[in-house]
């Protein structure tokens, strides 16, 4: 089975589907098996390449995590219910302080990428720590692992956990090191790796650092990522530190940070003015509902923001979010929106399972400006995809295949109707993956047709 959102706004489902991946790791053909050119009478069957039978797995586009923190993965699940600023001091700064050199990165980053791949994430956008050497190591590990990664060294000059830094050079050094990393890694691995200039958030950055960071992103073509409007106490603190700004979004606007290459995480409490300004500038939002509930930050009015035209993808925000799985983020997000509809008298319709799947794939790609490259299983795109055991049968063999130059055949399973009750309907499949997952349901993950280490190997 093949299930994917399409660029035209639809969802395509092929019960007996084939995805053909060419030698360059691009999708050469996708559709029902009986329409494949190789299936025509008299066709040369080798047109398809070696055919791999993946039944009863479902092929989906790889998931896109727009917001995570690499060094925080060991903390996942710790500190529930603390407010943001206390949680940062107690849990986050100590663990990031340990992510300080190449050996720390060599130990932690490969495990982090395996963890992401094991939950179906093929593109991760992540913050590192403030240390350049560990960021270099994190990029090297991503290059070797094969995951698609957009990473950035955290910039902080107002408060920092780096006890050895010379305060008089902190801003200059932070910008210089970010630029060196950006020059080395932005666009590396033939475009599979990218750099995001990463001022942590307004509380830890001066206006000058925010300005310099935005200028760096503009002159290098890199992304620019930070946090916004996550928690009530944080918003009060930003107002105190930036009295000249109209509101939180205006702090970043004055720095020149907003625009289509800017990815702001959270935005839980945005005012109408802030929302309008983000839409006007084409700024992207990483919605992180599991983090927002874990740290008691609030419930973002997702339906209203989408209606306003904001481009939104999903983020795990590990370890603000306790679980790196984007399926889990979809589930918590759906529950949060259901609760909001019931309690906040917001009568906008909630998103359906296929809408959540689109947010975690194609909309994430759109947020990155990569919608022509990844985010759906469509001809010409790079073959970033995952194979899922949706619970049709058990057990399923481990999938250990390189895909380049192959055709993936996923015939419909004879028992599918019985398992799903109403039949193997795409909405039911998405609903099952989101609301009734099992820990090792991701059986394979590929980027450009190359298998990622992780699925099946970390259980």
Residues found near Zn ion in the complex (CB under 5 A) = 317
**Residue that the structure tokens 């089975």 belong to:** 1
Given the complex with Zn ion, which of 65 and 317 has the nearer CB atom?
Answer: 317
Burial 242-269 (b: 16+ CB within 10 A, else e): beebebbbbbbbbbbbbeebbbbbbbbb
Shortest gap between Cβ of 442 and Zn ion (angstroms)? Answer: 23
The strand pairing partners of 139, in sequence order, are none
Given the complex with Zn ion, which of 212 and 317 has the nearer CB atom?
Answer: 317
Given the complex with Zn ion, which of 201 and 356 has the nearer CB atom?
Answer: 201
Given the complex with Zn ion, which of 136 and 317 has the nearer CB atom?
Answer: 317
For residues 117 and 125, give the distance between their C-alpha atoms in angstroms, rounded to a whole number: 13
Question: HSE on the CB side for 301, CA within 13 Å?
Answer: 16
Burial 348-376 (b: 16+ CB within 10 A, else e): eebbebbbbbbbbbbbbbbbbebbebbbb
Shortest gap between Cβ of 321 and Zn ion (angstroms)? Answer: 8
Shortest gap between Cβ of 114 and Zn ion (angstroms)? Answer: 21
Given the complex with Zn ion, which of 234 and 317 has the nearer CB atom?
Answer: 317
Shortest gap between Cβ of 323 and Zn ion (angstroms)? Answer: 14
Given the complex with Zn ion, which of 297 and 376 has the nearer CB atom?
Answer: 297
CA distance between the termini of the chain: 25
Shortest gap between Cβ of 127 and Zn ion (angstroms)? Answer: 7
Given the complex with Zn ion, which of 231 and 317 has the nearer CB atom?
Answer: 317
Shortest gap between Cβ of 320 and Zn ion (angstroms)? Answer: 5
Given the complex with Zn ion, which of 253 and 317 has the nearer CB atom?
Answer: 317
Given the complex with Zn ion, which of 274 and 317 has the nearer CB atom?
Answer: 317
Given the complex with Zn ion, which of 317 and 424 has the nearer CB atom?
Answer: 317
**DSSP states of 221-267 as a string?**
T-EEEEEES--HHHHHHHHHH-TTSSSHHHHHHHTT--STTEEEEE-
Shortest gap between Cβ of 181 and Zn ion (angstroms)? Answer: 19
Task: For residue 19, give the nearest of 66, 57, 67 by alpha carbon.
Answer: 57
Shortest gap between Cβ of 332 and Zn ion (angstroms)? Answer: 15
Task: For residue 263, give the nearest of 131, 150, 176, 138 by alpha carbon.
Answer: 150
The strand pairing partners of 313, in sequence order, are 286
Asked if residue 330 lies in contact with residue 356, where contact means CB atoms within 8 angstroms, the answer is: yes
**DSSP states of 26-66 as a string?**
BEEEEEEGGGSGGGSTT--GGGG-SEEE-TT-EEEEPEEEE
Is residue 72 packed enough to be buried (19+ CB in 10 Å), middle (13-18) or exposed (0-12)? Answer: buried
Asked if residue 85 lies in contact with residue 203, where contact means CB atoms within 8 angstroms, the answer is: yes
For residues 386 and 441, give the distance between their C-alpha atoms in angstroms, rounded to a whole number: 10
Shortest gap between Cβ of 220 and Zn ion (angstroms)? Answer: 22
Element of type H or E holding 123: strand 121-127
Q: Which residue is nearest to Zn ion (CB)?
A: 317
Shortest gap between Cβ of 360 and Zn ion (angstroms)? Answer: 17
């Amino acid at each position: 089975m093949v299930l994917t959102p399409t660029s035209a706004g639809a969802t395509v489902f092929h019960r007996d589907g084939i995805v053909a991946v060419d030698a360059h790791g691009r999708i050469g053909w996708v559709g029902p098996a009986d329409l494949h050119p190789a299936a025509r009478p008299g066709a040369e069957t080798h047109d398809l390449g070696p055919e791999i039978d993946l039944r009863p797995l479902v092929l989906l586009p790889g998931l896109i995590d727009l917001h995570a923190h690499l060094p925080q993965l060991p903390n996942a699940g710790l500190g529930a219910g603390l407010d943001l600023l206390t949680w940062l001091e107690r849990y986050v700064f100590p663990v990031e302080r340990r992510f300080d050199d190449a050996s720390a990165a060599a130990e932690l980053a490969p495990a982090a990428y395996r963890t992401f791949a094991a939950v179906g994430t093929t593109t991760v956008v992540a913050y590192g720590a403030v240390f350049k050497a560990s960021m270099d190591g994190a990029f090297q590990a991503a290059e070797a692992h094969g995951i698609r990664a957009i990473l950035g060294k955290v910039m902080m000059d107002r408060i920092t956990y780096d006890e050895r830094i010379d305060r008089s050079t902190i801003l200059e050094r932070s910008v210089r090191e970010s630029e060196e990393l950006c020059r080395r890694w932005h666009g590396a691995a033939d475009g599979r790796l990218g750099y995001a200039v990463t001022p942590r958030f307004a509380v830890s950055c001066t206006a000058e650092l925010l300005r310099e960071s935005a200028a760096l992103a503009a002159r290098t073509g890199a992304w620019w990522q930070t946090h916004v409007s996550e928690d009530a106490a944080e918003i009060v603190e930003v107002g105190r530190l930036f009295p000249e700004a109209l509101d939180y979004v205006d702090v970043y606007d004055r720095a020149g940070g907003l625009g289509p290459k800017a990815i702001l995480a959270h935005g839980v409490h945005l005012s109408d003015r802030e929302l309008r300004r983000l839409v006007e500038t084409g700024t992207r939002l990483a919605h992180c509902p599991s983090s927002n509930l874990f740290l008691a930050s609030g419930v973002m009015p997702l339906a209203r923001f989408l209606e306003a035209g904001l481009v939104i993808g999903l983020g795990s925000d590990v370890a603000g979010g306790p679980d790196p799985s984007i399926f889990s983020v979809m589930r918590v997000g759906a529950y949060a929106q259901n609760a909001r509809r019931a309690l906040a008298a917001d009568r906008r319709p909630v998103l359906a399972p296929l809408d959540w799947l689109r947010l975690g794939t194609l909309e994430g790609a759109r947020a990155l400006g990569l919608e022509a490259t990844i985010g759906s299983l469509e001809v010409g795109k790079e073959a970033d995809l995952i194979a899922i055991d949706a619970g049709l049968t058990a057990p399923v063999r481990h999938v250990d295949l390189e895909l380049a130059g192959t055709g993936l055949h996923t015939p419909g399973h004879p028992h599918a109707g019985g398992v799903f009750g109403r039949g193997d309907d795409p909405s039911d499949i998405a609903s099952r993956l989101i609301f009734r997952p099992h820990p090792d349901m991701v059986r394979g993950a590929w980027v450009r047709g190359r298998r990622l280490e992780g699925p099946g190997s970390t259980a």
